[in-house]
Structure 1
Amino acid sequence: MKNTLLLILFLLAVNKTFAQKNYIDQPFVETSAKVDTLVIPDRIYLTIIISEKDTKGKTSVEELESKMVNKLNSIGINLSKQLSLNDLSSNFKKYFLKQQEVLKAKSYSLLVYDAKTAVKVIVELENENISNVNLEKTEYSKIEELKLELKSQAILKAKLNAISMTKPLEQKIGRALFISDLDNDYNGLSGQVSGIRVRGYSSKVKASSYESIDIEFQKIKVEMEVNAKFLIE
């Protein structure tokens, strides 16, 4: 049994060496190509913290939570799909102040689909003394489909590069001998609400004026790179 196993390993090593030798012995051109694009994020995550500390203990978390829910409902937010509690293990975070006073707080994650709605949420909640809102991250919902499309564009670009390299030599390229791709992961914007650019207004905008706000989110750069080896005929 041991001898049979050793023989199998030997044959595999010989086949691998032979395949590599055949690969190296063939004339080929090696090239790479990179393509990228910018997309507007369509999944915006906001972190909302409601805290009794913000009102110096005058308004309870339960009251602030009720106001938040009412405001989000009035904006058209689907609470069951777009709002979730961040700290599920402990419903309440506690702040210990002087004389052992305990002020409660809750942290939520809110998903919206465009920058205009994000600013609308910020403005409406600020009017209810809920101003601790952070921009957590942004995403593009069709990122995987976009990556496949960019890979196709990149390999075609790599082929054109190979053609341009062999044409002056009056040679032609043949089939691809090797193809690999490099998936450059994009990073969604994260940070504070300042990540939202509000042009022409201060960050504290009255609810009556936010309809005319011209806002932009930083676009997400998606980049794909491929390496390829083409046979020279």
Structure 2
Amino acid sequence: MKKMLFIASALLMIGAGSAWAQGTDLDKQIPYVEISSSADTAVMPNKFRIAIGISEAPSKGKTTIAELERSLATALDAAGVDIKKQLVITSQSNASGKRKDVYQYKNYLLTLTEPNQVEAVFDALQMNGISNASLSQSTRSDLRELQAQVRVKAMRNAQITASELAAALGQRIGKAIYIQSYSSAPEAGLVMLRSKAAGVMTGNAVQDDAMSNLRFNDVRVNQNVTVRFVLE
């Protein structure tokens, strides 16, 4: 699903001071039209990152880090995760207890490509007693390619708007003498995942069904350009 929008604004400047143009005499008057234009697109995310943490409880009869790692492996295997390819350790540390016992902590980052698998992972983690997990990012694996496509769209919008403005004065545009491109940070809102306990908590099958249909928000990619065209 893609949606294209654009906003364009123009500043018409004719013979107003020394216009900037690389490789020309700065004292020469250069009439130009300057256009600021933007374009964006919204697409479904296809890359998800889940932060997972495990730690030994600083108490008698604690669950060891090795046991927690086995529980984590069991949960991810049940969710269809390829642990060797999709899971990495981001940090590991030891902490001393009051009785000089040492407790271990480990943090992981899990990368997924399927929205349905995100929910399956959270369910499996909960069933295996691992609660310290959060969805930290939903984005696109082809983000740079999308930005390039949207940037071209913004440039074309700028050219069309400049041509329309020049034509209104009986003129036309020539080559571009200045181009600036900048992008906004991709927006990707995270929505709640369906909870198996939702129906039990509310006792309402309709609400449970509504929760099961939730999805991730689209990733919105925005690009902005400012272009100056010579007026002929």
TM-score, normalized by the shorter chain, greater than 0.5: yes
2:223 match: 224
Output the CA distance in 2 between the equivalents of 1:81 and 1:95. Answer: 29
Q: What is the SS of the residue equivalent to 2:128?
A: coil
Report if the CA contact (8 A) 1:83-1:108 is conserved: yes
Give the letter for the 1:175 counterpart. K
2:154 match: 154
> Which blocks of at least 5 consecutive residues in structure 1 are unaligned?
1-15, 190-194
Q: What is the SS of the residue equivalent to 1:19?
A: coil
Is the helix fraction higher in 1 or 2?
1
1:113 match: 113
2:127 match: 127
When residues 66 and 200 of structure 1 are mapped into structure 2, their CA distance, relative to the original with a 3 A threshold, is: closer
When residues 18 and 98 of structure 1 are mapped into structure 2, their CA distance, relative to the original with a 3 A threshold, is: closer
Output the CA distance in 1 between the equivalents of 2:70 and 2:23. Answer: 72
Q: What is the SS of the residue equivalent to 2:222?
A: strand
Displacement after TM superposition at 1:64 (Å): 1.6
2:36 match: 32
When residues 199 and 129 of structure 1 are mapped into structure 2, their CA distance, relative to the original with a 3 A threshold, is: closer
Of the structure 1 ranges 57-66 and 39-48, higher mean CA displacement relative to structure 2 is found in 57-66
Count matched residues. Answer: 204
2:12 match: none
Q: What is the SS of the residue equivalent to 1:185?
A: coil
When residues 117 and 56 of structure 1 are mapped into structure 2, their CA distance, relative to the original with a 3 A threshold, is: farther
1:79 match: 83
Which ranges of 4 or more aligned residues in structure 1 deviate by more than 6 Å?
none
Displacement after TM superposition at 1:20 (Å): 4.4
When residues 142 and 163 of structure 1 are mapped into structure 2, their CA distance, relative to the original with a 3 A threshold, is: same
Displacement after TM superposition at 1:198 (Å): 2.8
Output the CA distance in 1 between the equivalents of 2:58 and 2:162. Answer: 63
CA RMSD of the aligned region, Å?
3.1
- Describe the superposition over 1:187-209 as per-residue Cα deviations: whole angstroms up to 9, x where unpaired: 666xxxxx44135755799xxx9
1:7 match: none
1:21 aligns with 2:26: yes
Counting aligned pairs with the same residue, the percent is: 26
2:185 match: 185
Displacement after TM superposition at 1:101 (Å): 4.4
Give the letter for the 1:140 counterpart. R
- Describe the superposition over 1:33-80 as per-residue Cα deviations: whole angstroms up to 9, x where unpaired: 001122222111111112222997442221121121122123221111
Output the CA distance in 1 between the equivalents of 2:188 and 2:224. Answer: 19
Structure number with the bigger relative contact order (C-alpha 8 A, sep ≥ 6) is 1
> Which blocks of at least 5 consecutive residues in structure 2 are unaligned?
1-20, 201-207
TM-score (norm 1): 0.75
2:18 match: none
